[in-house]
């Protein structure tokens, strides 16, 4: 990293991954010291400020994200991926979760930066998710030895079409952190589940809503937000999340029966704003929950067909391919697969503001 990053700038690629947008960096271009790195990223993104007017953040959690990428030092992966959620109006840099949407851009970014060679017509990468310890496999279209961002895949929440990037994630840990399909927490029946993203599944009717409200309507309901947060803080320690008040996990899902041709309707608090669609690994966790008898999701969902669970969200539909199976000890394990698109938006140098 340059001694004077403010004047010289830092190599940075702005990419859309799935329904999110973030700044992608090679690890060696950032400080090794965590405190120095976090301070630098806050200055780059323009936080804390609700508009992030003095940085490249997009004034929303879905567009205030960072991916840090490096060549992996393990034989089991080609690339390491660290995800950081940058607070918008608070000076917080969170690493307790990963991001399945930005994951869609990791393969293209690694190829663009020369961290891994492209192979015609498709390049396969094994990606270690440093936040969770899970491993993902990405297949990226690379005709003529370069990433091709054009394609015919459309995903709800993103205008137009793009190249199809196949993602699969295998998870070693049990998907039910407490071992229970249902727990009672803070006076509510909940399902705690983690198939790549720690989420809490809730019955929308217990919170006095119908389930089809818009994100704006839910965010305006201060009593609802406070109650959801009360449950989140009580549930977090049972999912291994400490100091949840300073973290963005677990995510909170209000669930209801399908109303638009899917298998289950979702509204996600992430955790203080409401998602305009649904994250890839959030969807994997919800879909796994819908396949485990006795969970909140299973009770509300239409019977799944095959290996696909169609989740309704504010922006449309998400087709989740998630598995939930019991091992010989009766422990539920999970895996997931998805198709997403990604696109390089800008490549160059970013200039952090001199101080916060």
Asked, for residue 117, whether it belongs to a domain, the answer is yes
Asked, for residue 261, whether it belongs to a domain, the answer is yes
Task: Tell whether 205 and 64 lie within a shared domain.
Answer: no
Q: What is the pLDDT of residues 227-245, one digit of tens each?
A: 999 999 999 999 999 888 8
Domain at 94, CATH number: 3.10.310.10
Asked whether residue 283 carries a pLDDT value surpassing 80, the answer given is yes
Under a CB-based contact definition with an 8 Å cutoff, are residues 90 and 111 in contact?
no
Q: What is the pLDDT of residues 317-340, one digit of tens each?
A: 999 999 999 999 999 999 999 999
pLDDT of the residue at 4: 86
Note if the pTM is more than 0.85: yes
Averaged pLDDT for residues 250-275:
97
Asked, for residue 24, whether it belongs to a domain, the answer is yes
Confidence of residue 304 (pLDDT cuts 50, 70, 90): confident
Task: Tell whether 216 and 160 lie within a shared domain.
Answer: no
pLDDT of the residue at 307: 84
Task: Tell whether 287 and 318 lie within a shared domain.
Answer: yes
Cα 351-342-70 angle, rounded to 5 deg = 60
Task: Tell whether 103 and 209 lie within a shared domain.
Answer: no
Q: How far is CA 120 from CA 139, 140, 143, in A?
A: 11, 10, 5
Asked whether residue 1 carries a pLDDT value surpassing 80, the answer given is no
Task: Tell whether 59 and 204 lie within a shared domain.
Answer: no
Averaged pLDDT for residues 197-201:
97
From 48-52, 183-187, 322-326, the region with the lowest mean pLDDT: 322-326
Confidence of residue 3 (pLDDT cuts 50, 70, 90): low
* Domain containing residue 196: 183-337
Asked, for residue 39, whether it belongs to a domain, the answer is yes
Cα 301-304-307 angle, rounded to 5 deg = 140
Task: Tell whether 159 and 11 lie within a shared domain.
Answer: yes
Asked, for residue 169, whether it belongs to a domain, the answer is no
pLDDT of the residue at 139: 98
Which residue, 83, 148, 99, 102, is CA-closest to 121? 148
Task: Tell whether 105 and 12 lie within a shared domain.
Answer: yes
Asked, for residue 38, whether it belongs to a domain, the answer is yes
Instruction: Quote the CA–CA distance of 4 and 8 in Å, as a whole number.
Output: 6
Round the average pLDDT of the chain to a whole number and report it.
96
Task: Tell whether 333 and 346 lie within a shared domain.
Answer: no
Structure tokens at 118: 């492209």
Task: Tell whether 217 and 133 lie within a shared domain.
Answer: no
Q: State how many domains the chain has.
A: 2
- Report phi then psi at 28, rounded to 5: -70, -10
Asked, for residue 176, whether it belongs to a domain, the answer is no
Helix (H) or strand (E) holding 204: none
Task: Tell whether 142 and 190 lie within a shared domain.
Answer: no
Task: Tell whether 94 and 232 lie within a shared domain.
Answer: no
Asked, for residue 171, whether it belongs to a domain, the answer is no
Task: Tell whether 267 and 328 lie within a shared domain.
Answer: yes
């Amino acid at each position: 990293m340059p001694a004077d990053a403010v004047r010289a700038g830092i190599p940075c690629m702005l990419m859309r991954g799935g329904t999110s947008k973030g700044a992608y960096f090679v690890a060696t271009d950032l400080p090794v010291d965590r405190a120095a790195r976090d301070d630098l990223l806050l200055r780059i993104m323009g936080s804390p400020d609700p508009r992030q007017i003095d940085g490249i953040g997009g004034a929303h959690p879905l567009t205030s994200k960072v991916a840090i990428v490096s060549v992996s030092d393990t034989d089991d992966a080609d690339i390491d991926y660290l995800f950081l959620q940058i607070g918008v109006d608070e000076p917080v840099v969170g690493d307790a979760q990963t991001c399945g949407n930005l994951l869609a851009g990791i393969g293209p970014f690694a190829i663009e930066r020369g961290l891994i060679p492209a192979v015609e017509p498709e390049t396969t990468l094994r990606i270690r998710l440093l936040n969770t310890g899970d491993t993902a496999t990405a297949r990226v279209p690379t005709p003529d030895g370069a990433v091709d961002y054009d394609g015919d895949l459309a995903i709800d929440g993103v205008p137009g079409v793009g190249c199809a990037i196949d993602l699969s994630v295998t998870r070693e840990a049990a998907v039910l952190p407490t071992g229970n399909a249902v727990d009672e927490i803070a006076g509510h029946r909940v399902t705690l589940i983690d198939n790549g993203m720690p989420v809490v599944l809730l019955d929308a009717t217990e919170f006095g809503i119908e389930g089809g409200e818009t994100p704006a309507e839910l965010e305006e309901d201060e009593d609802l937000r406070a109650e959801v947060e009360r449950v989140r803080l009580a549930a977090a320690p049972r999912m291994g999340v400490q100091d949840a008040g300073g973290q963005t996990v677990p995510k909170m899902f209000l669930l209801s029966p399908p109303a638009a041709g899917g298998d289950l309707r979702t509204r996600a608090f992430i955790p203080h704003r409401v998602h305009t669609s649904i994250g890839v690994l959030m969807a994997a966790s919800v879909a796994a929950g819908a396949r485990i008898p006795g969970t909140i999701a299973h009770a509300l969902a239409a019977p799944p067909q095959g290996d696909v669970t169609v989740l309704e969200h504010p922006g449309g539909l998400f087709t989740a391919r998630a598995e939930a199976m019991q091992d010989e000890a009766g422990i539920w394990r999970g895996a997931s697969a998805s198709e997403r698109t990604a696109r390089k938006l800008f490549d160059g140098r970013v200039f952090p503001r001199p101080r916060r």
